[in-house]
Amino acid sequence: MPCPRGSVARGAAAALVLALAAACRPAAPANPVRLPDPPASLPPGPFQHTMLSGVLAAGPAPADPGATDRALRAYLAALAAFGPRSHPALFPAAEDRLAWLVNAHVAWAIALAGAPELASVAPAVRGRIELPLDRERTTLAALAEEIARRAPNDPRLGLWLDPGTPDRPPWPPAALEGHAFGFLVDLQARRCGAAPGTWTLDAGSRRLTVAGWAERLPGLPDERAQRFRRLLDVVPPAPALRAGALETCGGALQRCRLEVAAAAPPPD
């Protein structure tokens, strides 16, 4: 059955708007991060992410920046040559494959955020920079979409993405590993929920506030009270604060004003 003319016209107009928006969007700069040669081979699977764990353990301000940068680039070189598509035997379980995707996003986000050539480039633009990964090309934005597609009901994976950029969750303590996937995801969620500034309860004013990065996690309900209630479960505050929030606000948070904290201004 042919489409009505109005529908065709609206579809064409929408396509034109999208095309114009893409044309006006600033082009993503070239990737300035240079990688060493990848290893010729890796030990039998599963793929291990110990190099990235070392980078994360050093924190956002490492004591030896040069060594940390070399470790990060070596890890990125391994990701460029070895992945679930080209070497499926290294990723036997779904958790191994999902951990690889999340860690690839973490590592490349750190590398791009730390590149002096991109210091003035907005995170959204960095998200469109091409990256070598598993013998193909991709972007941070495409990785985030693929992670959300594979785990649409787990907002906690968003806690790992974009470390080192403003208004994001606390820095992960270690890389994800497939064999301990659930434990590590839950550990990061509890660390983030208990971090200062994530949750604030003003019982006297009946006001519950959550950090902006938490409220923007993927896979949450659209309605605000439901979003906050879901966040209390997946990114829980310290037990005493959580219990106080439920006692003050009610099980559905219906008795409180629910607010999102404003992002801290960027440093000068």
* Greatest Cα-to-Cα distance within the chain, rounded to the nearest angstrom: 67
Q: Could you list the pLDDT tens digit for every one of the 268 residues in the chain?
A: 454 555 555 555 555 554 555 555 678 899 999 999 999 999 887 999 999 999 999 999 999 999 999 999 999 999 999 999 999 999 999 999 999 999 999 999 999 999 999 999 998 999 999 999 999 999 999 999 999 999 999 999 999 998 867 788 999 999 999 999 999 999 999 999 999 999 999 999 999 999 999 999 999 999 999 999 999 999 999 999 999 999 999 999 999 999 999 876 554 4
Which pLDDT score, from 0 to 100, does residue 132 have? Answer: 98
Which pLDDT score, from 0 to 100, does residue 43 have? Answer: 86
Q: Which amino acid is at 74?
A: A
| Bridge partners of residue 260, in order along the sequence | 210
pTM of the model: 0.86
Which pLDDT score, from 0 to 100, does residue 263 have? Answer: 72
Which pLDDT score, from 0 to 100, does residue 8 have? Answer: 52
Segments making up each domain of the chain, as ranges: 50-157, 199-260
108: closest CA among 37, 43, 175, 167?
175
Q: How many C-beta atoms surround the C-beta of residue 160 within 10 A?
A: 26
Q: How far apart are CA 214 and CA 161, in angstroms?
A: 12
Which pLDDT score, from 0 to 100, does residue 268 have? Answer: 44
Position of tokens 């991109």? 118
Q: How far apart are CA 157 and CA 153, in angstroms?
A: 10
Which pLDDT score, from 0 to 100, does residue 265 have? Answer: 52
Which pLDDT score, from 0 to 100, does residue 163 have? Answer: 82
The DSSP annotation for the chain comes to -PPPHHHHHHHHHHHHHHHHHHHHSPPPPPP----PPPPS--PSSSP--HHHHHHHHH-SS-SSHHHHHHHHHHHHHHHHH--TTT-GGG--SHHHHHHHHHHHHHHHHHHHHT-GGGTTS-HHHHTTS-EEETTEEE-HHHHHHHHHHHSTT-GGGGGGSSTTSSS-PPPPSS---GGGHHHHHHHHHHHHHHSTTTEEEETTTTEEEE-HHHHT-TT--SSHHHHHHHHHHHS---HHHHHHHHHHH-TTSTTSEEEEPPPPPPP-
In the sheet where 257-260 sits, what is the strand order? 199-202, 207-210, 257-260
Q: How far apart are CA 101 and CA 154, in angstroms?
A: 15
